[in-house]
Chain A
Amino acid sequence: MEIYQIYSMTSAVLFVIGMGGVFMSKHFIKKIIATIIMGGGVFLAFVSFAQRDALSFADPVPHALVITGIVVAVASAAFALALARRIFQLTGEESFTNDK
């Protein structure tokens, strides 16, 4: 067993936890956090392969992809939080009521 496999296994676990959280929780903030955890899993997967494929330095492409991905995730998380906040201001609701 190699080091990178610990990371890629962890990434899969995080991904599954996040996915489960998105579908099972109803609270806005919990759902948003679940998507962030999913994102964390995905980025860890990228970086684990970068470590495995290192030569004189670690593979730079996954690192660049992860930076891009993180920034994108920050933007969408900020947007989701703004939405959740505004809904709370307008209606006082903090979770989805009817279906999933």
Chain B
Amino acid sequence: MTDLPTSPYPALLVGLPVMMAILSLFFRPRGKAFLGLIGCLLTAVLAIFAFVEVTQLGTVIHRLGGWEPPLGILLRMDALAAVFIGMTALVGALISLYAWRYFDAQDTSTDGFPLFWPLWLFLWAGLNGLFLSNDLFNLFVTLEVIGISAVALAVLSGKAGALVSGLRYLLAAITGSMSYLFGVALIYGSTGTLDLEMLGQVLEAGPATTFALLVMTLGLMIKMAGFPFHFWLPPAHSNSLAPVSALLSALVVKGAFYILLRLWMEVFGVSLTYAAGQLIGVAGAIAVIWGSWQAFMQTSLKLIVAHSSVAQLGYLLMVFPLLILPSGVSAASADWLSPAWTASVYQVLSHAFAKASFFLSAGIIVMAVGHDRIESLRDLVGHMRMTALAIGLAGVSLIGLPPSGGFMGKWMLLKGIFLSGQWWWAPVVLVGSLLTAGYIFMLLRLAFAPTGEKEPFQPVPKRLEVFALLLAVSSFLIVLPADYLIQFLEGSEVFGSGIETVLKGGAYGNN
């Protein structure tokens, strides 16, 4: 741990966006937007540099204040963190460029919009901090930075509907973080450390640990809108401005998932049982079916896309039962671990790109037609080819048809399911894909349908369409470096490891 190379990048990745956010506060709206965009691009470039450094040096760390844990805080950038940071950089940069043009095209009467930039920079800093953090309490602080800035972005339009769904989102977020923090208190009380790596070694099974695991998982499930705590997500995501919806669905929910993954894999190994994995898998499975079905039933474009997020997050939860090994099986002999990990990473990546593209396209359509009822898609192909193509490509990735990133995620998930012998998850994946295909093809059918008696399309800046399309194309391009990416991730400690269940004898595995 101490012999890992140190690097200034982790600190810069958090510090730079905050610096630009502070600077932008001093300027009038135009300057705010300009500085904000510069800040976003700089942060993205920095993230790419950091990513390259991790590919060269392996895991890098940064001892904040020069103190060693457990007293000090350590930032750690390993392969998994690097992939998430890189994803945030690419998706974030494209959404920022879109937002720059998008706010230009809006009427400037509302002066709340320039606040988008500092808030989004704070959000970015929070996300980077979360992916890098190696400390339970610091994770709570970054979760709060993300939570407050995400809700503030969601209510930026100032409309009553957005405010109500924003308040619901905020209350869910606070409840989630407090629940998580209660777990942190119990863990600190029983071990005297907050450092993830140390906790993985010293944590002992017992009622306190199990209870901590329970409340922390509960809190994070609320934050990532896992079933049955998904109620806040569809209204919050569908009521916000297009670039904000894209950020919220592509990046923000992934933060809580990332912590959940890290906690389960690195910290709570001693308390996890086969049943716990099955339980969270069932929650995921219900989310897949329910979310897809709800999306299928909606009549407004943004609500379809928002409900589809619930389903796509469900796939992520379905990875957990595969990562928990039945007793007596070692990680080396479990050949389904690698596919399961690949599935989770690709599901995260493809959903980020595809969903961002989908929401940005929805924003373009709202701008062109004035509303987002699905009839607005009529004759889209005739008027806005690029947006139609973006919706088509993003949709294909969400369904999971080859050769998209979504296909990679779902295929690997199925492979993991069959190799592990937990065949009962397979029908869920298939039914989910069928339902997804149902609503995507319904949208595409409308896009090709001739215009009825509907409003004409207003002209929309071409550049907006380009950025949405770029994101959709990226959700396919991520398949190209798959071999390399998996190899890179396999170098990290987490990737490819499973949790050995301790349910051998007594209730808590006491020998």
Contacts and interface: CB of A to CB of B under 8 A. Distances in A.
Same complex for A and B? Answer yes
Interface string A53-75: 10000000110010011001101
Contacts of A99: 231
Most buried by B among A45, A53, A93: A45
Contacts, number: 93
Interface residues of A, number: 42
A83 B165 CA distance: 10
Given A87-B164, A90-B163, A79 B170 contact: yes
B179 A19 contact: yes
Given A53-B192, A86-B163, A93-B164, A80 B175 contact: no
B140 interface: yes
Nearest to B173: A76
Contacts of B188: 46, 49, 61-62, 65
Q: Taking chain A's interface residues, is the majority helix, strand, or loop, or is none over half, making it mixed?
A: helix
Contacts of B185: 11, 42, 45-46, 49, 62
Given A38-B178, A99-B231, A87 B189 contact: no
Q: Taking chain B's interface residues, is the majority helix, strand, or loop, or is none over half, making it mixed?
A: helix
Contact of B178 (A8, A18, A61): A18
A10 to B, nearest CB: 13
Nearest to B192: A53
A96 B174 contact: no
Interface string B182-225: 10011011001010000000000000000000000000000000
Contacts of B173: 76
Question: Which of under 10, 10 to 19, 20 to 34, or 35 or more describes the interface residues of B?
Answer: 20 to 34
Interface in B98-138: 137
A80 B167 contact: yes
Please give me the 5 A-B residue pairs with the lowest Cβ-Cβ distance, nearest first: A49-B189, A45-B185, A38-B178, A83-B167, A35-B174
29 contacts: A8-B189, A18-B178, A31-B171, A41-B182, A42-B185, A45-B182, A45-B185, A45-B186, A48-B189, A52-B189, A53-B192, A61-B71, A69-B181, A72-B144, A76-B148, A77-B174, A79-B152, A80-B170, A80-B174, A83-B151, A83-B163, A83-B170, A86-B163, A87-B160, A87-B163, A90-B160, A91-B164, A93-B164, A96-B164
Interface of B: 71, 137, 140-141, 144, 147-148, 151-152, 155, 160, 163-164, 166-168, 170-171, 173-175, 178-179, 181-182, 185-186, 188-189, 192, 194, 231
